[in-house]
Amino acid sequence: MSTKKIILKITGMTCSSCAINNEKALAKAKGIVSANVNFASKKALVEYDADVLSEEQVKKIIIDNGYDIDHGTHSMEHAGHDMKHDHDGGHEHRSEDIKKNWKAFLWSAIFTLPLALEMVYKFRLGMKFLDIDLVMYAHVVLATIVVFYFGWRFHKMAWKQAKKFQANMDTLVSMGTLVAYFFSLWLVAEKFLYDIEKEGYFEAAAIIITLILLGKYFEAKSTGQAGEAMKKLMELGAKKARVLIDGKEREIEISEIQVSDIILVKPSEKIPLDGEVIEGQSNVDESMLTGESMPVEKKVGSKVFGATLNEDGILKIKVTEVGEGTVLAQIIRTVEEAQGSKAPIQKLADRISGIFVPIVIGIALVTFLGWYFVSEDISIAIMNAVAVLVIACPCALGLATPTAIMVGTGKGAKNSILFKSGESFERAKEISMVVFDKTGTLTKGAPVVKRIISNPAFNFPQDKIAKLAASVAKNSEHPISQAVNAYAKDKNIETVDFADFKELPGRGVTAVCATHQKVVMMGNKKLLEENRLDTKWADEMLNDENLEIGTRLFVVHGGKDVVGAIIVADEARTESKGVVERLKAIGLKVAMISGDNKQTAQAMAKELGIEKVMAEVLPSEKAYEIEKLQSQGEKIVFVGDGINDAPSLVQADLGIAMGSATDIAKEAGQIILMQNNLEKVVEAIKLSKLTFRTIQQNLFWAFIYNIIAIPLAFSGILSPAIAAAAMSFSSVSVVANSLRIYRK
């Protein structure tokens, strides 16, 4: 199966029921792997089998379902090349949408105003405004224009839904306004035919349409603000680049650049795409991607990233990534996918929204029948039923979760925190403990050799111990091995060739000297025990409190003699202690997990104020330790950076990958920190909790609104016009509450 992802920008969706209907339509289609439709952003994130469906066929499913696809739609494979188009097109579309809704409201209000004034006039004075039939006919004309021209969008979509035996917000608005309009028209006909004078409700139908259009305007404006972070991300990218062709400069569009092209970047210019410096030297401001304020020195061989700013030198860069391969495109994709995803709590809202409209229609029918039999006045019965239909539109319910997720992910991206899905926010709600990987996470990840100790039983010189250790470790990429190699290089100690190299995770390294054919090992006590070597002297070294704090590595010569020990220590990050204190201050427990010996691990934990320590843990056992904590009732955030941290990141309730993390670790984590700064862990947790709390608030008020409003409309307390205003206000209030996340 060859799967692809596409983001569809859907037009014509007016409520959460529309999103649900589109999801259902997509899910039923053969070849669709997954589909998430976000009502707030008006986007669908669709994963499909390219062997079964084409991109056009996926779009056709939405079109056949009664909706349209905006030109800003793009495949994830072309995210980078299409960034400018997506930004310009998407932003223009949002602006046009806002203008369109404002214009529709304004003109609708102009035609509705005479109706509303006449209604108020009669209400205040108890008399008619100009007692002539022309007024009545003017009502018919004005109401017809408002209901059928400005309100056509609602009737059109309601009809499309009806043909598929479905219903949504448009169904309620359309039914409510048409009932009020045609009933009023019947009353006009009665007056014309039988001279029976009764109150009409043209103004109610017109006011409903006008107020809902006003709500749509505010909704479009607010959701546009919610997507502001995505807009700013897209604006980061350069629009054009200076390419060297046959030694001559030529300025071309970013979309025309290919891998291996040579681009020239002058001082104060943005670097267009990811690449490698082949000529020149400069300082580059990478803060727009990483948040780090200090510029990074770049020279021949250095990697550079699109959207970063070249400060002072001229750089020739060979392009290595275009399209979705660029770092910026990946960040945008991550944010877009997160904004298109759903938190598990939204499933409840979706289920309710899916059955809500038919239930409301049923309540409206009961309202009509009840009031008709009680009052024997069909006008009262109809208007109360209309009020029920209008006030119960589930817009607020549909906006509650996606708008909060849009704002939360947007704020995160702005602060160099990438949430990969809406689920991350919900996972954070019950977090009780943060578990840090030690090396490279709590520490700088660059250990150094503090001391070399010779075993008196063999009396090997320190340089010889260092030579043996560096020779056996030079093929290892482990930070500790790198520290030993760096020490040997610094001391001008020459290494010798070794064969049959083996790296034993969580224990050490072994190899065979090519000259003397003797086995040499470097590792911890576990390595000694596995090879059934004498650990008496090793135990003395491990328990000697007078020695430097750090990891004890033992050097074995000839496969049996423990000839020396190397103490390697890693320094804590400057911010580590403060971060631990801040996490404790917000009520979270803090723990550390490490492969180091207990003495070293506990010393580091004591320095940082961490009470819970899991030491001498093999990489393969880390996830098991997390699972044990979970079995004790803890909800775990795991923070790590290495390949060996990937299982723990997956096992934890919430995995956070550091900025320096491997690709595998970033793939495993639910949150990625673009900065290699632990302060972002606290920010990520706080933002997660804030966003989920906002989702809960939104859902609460959306539910409460309908719980209170529907009975009021049922009881006849609310007029259709007031119901329309209240319905519009509920949607806007939910979006406004979500936008508060930006300010906190």
Cα–Cα distance measured from residue 742 to residue 744, given in angstroms and rounded to the nearest whole number: 6
- Paired with 245 in beta bridges are 248
Q: Are 408 and 741 in contact (CB under 8 A)?
A: yes
- The alpha carbon of residue 217 and the mean position of all alpha carbons in its chain are separated, in whole angstroms, by 26
Both tokens of residue 670? Answer: 């639910």
- Paired with 654 in beta bridges are 637
Judged on CB neighbours under 10 Å (0-12, 13-18, 19+), 356 is: buried
In the block, tokens 């650049």 appear at 257
Cα–Cα distance measured from residue 652 to residue 659, given in angstroms and rounded to the nearest whole number: 18
H or E segment and range at residue 24? helix 16-28
Cα–Cα distance measured from residue 496 to residue 507, given in angstroms and rounded to the nearest whole number: 22
User: CA end-to-end span of the chain, whole Å?
Assistant: 44
Task: Say whether 286 sits in a helix, a strand or coil.
Answer: coil
Cα–Cα distance measured from residue 396 to residue 603, given in angstroms and rounded to the nearest whole number: 53
Crossing angle for the helix pair 720-743 and 395-414, to the nearest 10 degrees: 20
Q: Are 521 and 561 in contact (CB under 8 A)?
A: no
Judged on CB neighbours under 10 Å (0-12, 13-18, 19+), 316 is: middle
Sign of the dihedral through C-alpha 12, 13, 15, 18: positive
Would you call 86 a catalytic residue per the annotation? no
Nearest to residue 112, comparing CAs of 727, 720, 739, 670?
720
Cα–Cα distance measured from residue 415 to residue 409, given in angstroms and rounded to the nearest whole number: 10
Cα–Cα distance measured from residue 563 to residue 530, given in angstroms and rounded to the nearest whole number: 17
Helices (H), 29-82: 55-64
Determine what percent of the chain falls in helix, strand and coil, rounding each to the nearest 5.
55, 20, 25
| Catalytic residue selected from 274, 350, 437, 645 | 437
| Residues belonging to the active site | 437
